[in-house]
A = this chain, B = another copy of it.
Amino acid sequence: MSDAVTDAEPLAADAHDFFKTTLSLRPGFLIRRLHQIHLALFAEECAAFGVTPVQYSIMSVVLLQPRIDQARLGHEVGVDRATLTNVIGRLETKGLIRRSKKATDKRSNLVKLTARGEAVLEGMADAVQRAHARTIAPLPPEDQARFLDYLNRLVDAGNEYSRAPLRIA
């Protein structure tokens, strides 16, 4: 390592030290990075399907609960209303879901997968599983289980703080 420091060409060692002493201790920074990595792995595994992780979560819930109310759907995947409207619109354009109005309340949208949506969801299941598995694959199996347990505890404990809390109970 050199002692020379110039303004315009910072040393890589500085950056490395900064990462070690600062960024690597910030859970929020690391979580953002890991989320980016997961999005990339998901995109790589699922490129053929053109469905994002959030779209996939939404379709998973709709498969299980056909004609689910759109507002409720948002609560079950933790997606805020504006994002959900956007995502649902895209899935509808792709012919993967269909919206209809509730007979008793014209303001409510009910959401259902199309036959094509069901086929896509089924067809991409293995690829999605690989994307999730690869995200934590660098850890040994027993640490993977512990990492998932930590995530579940933190997500559960922090639920109310998020912009779109899960409402499933």
Contact = CB atoms under 8 A, between A and B. Distances in A.
Contacts of A32: 35, 38, 53-54, 78
Interface residues of A, number: 74
A106 interface: no
Interface string A26-64: 111111111111111110100000000110010011001
A135 B27 contact: yes
B10 A152 contact: no
Contact of A41 (B44, B54, B66, B158): B158
A136 B27 contact: yes
B30 A76 contact: no
A131 interface: yes
A153 B138 contact: yes
A115 interface: no
A135 B168 CA distance: 22
Interface of A: 7-8, 10, 12, 14-16, 18-19, 22-42, 44, 53-54, 57, 60-61, 64-69, 72, 76-78, 102, 110, 131-132, 135-136, 138-139, 143, 146-148, 150-155, 157-159, 161-164, 166, 168-169
